């Protein structure tokens, strides 16, 4: 769940590939839904649910590129990068609901097995596998290594290949032995795959919506490293790091020895954060005295005002 950085022509190539993969996935998702309803196979419906996660991941990747191009304005100073996070969050909830419905139906079918048309199921499952292979080929041919969106989408499609293989296996067993319970059993297995990606998506998007610190950044380590690497920096406090789209944003207070060149020191701090933590958007407040409050001031608004009265 991430946004891309524009690379000009490469980006357009990626967009076209993403778009093509999205169309292939969406069309076959509908085919699988129809096939699942006609053949009576729950495994096909579960696989269609899985394909929906793929289509959503691809759509997210495309939207992220679109929103990243929208210019920020005075009402939305960060632009619209958060929309992709919000979309991912809603997508994750939808996935979890679909999974629960399929598992619920699977349990019901153990008690009242449905007759399933094995051959219909087989044909559709094989078609689904072909669709996944096409998507995988489309995505893998892109500059997938550099683009986190394409990588995420490719992983989705890989998981989907397993779902299709499962559906084919179930169809084979039904055609050969007529043992119907294999269908709900496999639909539950496929649902577990969907559940895993849905849960991860929910966790990540919620973390970002709650202004959580990006998982790759260790704030305590960052504070130590800044003080150790830049001699003038005495201590770092009031640190806030959050993420908008794919961009980490940071504010901090730095208590420094009064420098010979204020701007040079500021640039040094900014360069260090960019170099070591890939944080390009940082606001630094430099101070010569210790701050009266050592902790972040968001929750202590009243005490802070109170403290200033007594000074």
For residues 33 and 201, give the distance between their C-alpha atoms in angstroms, rounded to a whole number. Answer: 23
Domain boundary among 168, 190, 209: 209
> Are 213 and 219 in contact, with CB atoms under 8 Å apart?
yes
The pLDDT tens digits for 260-281 are: 788 989 998 999 999 888 888 8
Question: Are residue 123 and residue 232 in the same domain, yes or no?
Answer: no
Where does a domain end: 209, 234, 255? Answer: 209
Task: At 226, list the tokens.
Answer: 């800044």
φ, ψ at 285 (rounded to 5°):
-105, 115
214 belongs to a structural domain: no
Number of domains in the chain: 2
pLDDT band at 11 (very low <50, low <70, confident <90, very high): low
Of the residues 179, 209, 239, the one at which a domain ends? 209
- Please indicate, yes or no, if residue 3 is contained in any of the structural domains: no
Full residue range of the structural domain in which residue 83 is found: 9-209
Task: With CA atoms as reference, report the closest residue to 61 among 143, 176, 175.
Answer: 143
192 and 223 share a domain?
no
Q: Are 193 and 163 in contact (CB under 8 A)?
A: yes
Asked if 98 and 246 sit in the same domain, the reply is no
Is 95 among the domain residues? yes
CA distance 185 to 179: 11
Residue 2 lies in a domain: no
How many CB atoms lie under 10 A from the CB of residue 56?
25
Instruction: Please give the angle made by the CA atoms of 31, 37 and 40, to the nearest 5 degrees.
Output: 125
Q: Which of 14-28, 38-52, 244-258, 286-300 has the lowest mean pLDDT?
A: 286-300
123-166: pLDDT as tens digits = 988 998 898 888 888 877 655 445 556 666 666 677 777 778 88
For all residues of the chain together, what is the average pLDDT?
A: 80
Rounded Cα distance between 64 and 59, Å, is: 8
- The structure's pTM equals 0.69
């Amino acid at each position: 769940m991430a946004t891309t950085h524009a690379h000009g022509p490469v980006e357009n190539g990626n967009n076209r590939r993403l778009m093509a993969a999205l169309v292939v996935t969406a069309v076959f998702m509908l085919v699988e839904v129809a096939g699942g309803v006609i053949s009576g196979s729950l495994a096909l419906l579960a696989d269609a649910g899985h394909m929906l996660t793929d289509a959503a991941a691809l759509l997210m990747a495309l939207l992220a590129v679109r929103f990243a191009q929208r210019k920020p304005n005075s009402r939305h100073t960060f632009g619209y990068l958060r929309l992709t996070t919000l979309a991912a969050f809603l997508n994750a909830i939808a996935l979890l609901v679909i999974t629960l419905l399929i598992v619920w139906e699977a349990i019901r079918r153990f008690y009242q097995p449905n007759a399933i048309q094995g051959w219909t199921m087989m044909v559709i499952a094989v078609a689904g596998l072909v669709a996944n292979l096409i998507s995988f080929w489309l995505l893998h041919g892109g500059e997938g290594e550099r683009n986190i969106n394409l990588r995420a989408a490719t992983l989705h499609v890989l998981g989907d290949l397993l779902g299709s293989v499962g559906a084919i296996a179930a169809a084979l067993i039904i055609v050969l032995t007529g043992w119907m319970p294999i269908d709900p059993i496999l639909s539950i297995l496929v649902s577990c795959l969907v559940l895993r990606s849905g849960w991860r998506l929910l966790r990540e998007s919620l973390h970002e919506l709650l202004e959580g610190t990006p998982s790759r950044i260790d704030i305590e380590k960052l504070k130590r490293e800044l003080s150790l690497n830049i001699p003038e920096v005495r201590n770092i406090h009031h640190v806030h790091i959050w993420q908008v789209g794919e961009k980490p944003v940071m504010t901090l207070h730095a208590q420094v020895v009064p420098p010979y060149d204020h701007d040079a020191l500021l640039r040094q701090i900014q360069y260090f954060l960019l170099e070591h933590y890939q944080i390009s958007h940082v606001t630094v407040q430099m101070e010569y005295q210790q701050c009266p409050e050592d902790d972040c001031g968001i929750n202590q608004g009243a005490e802070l005002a109170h403290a200033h009265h007594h000074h």
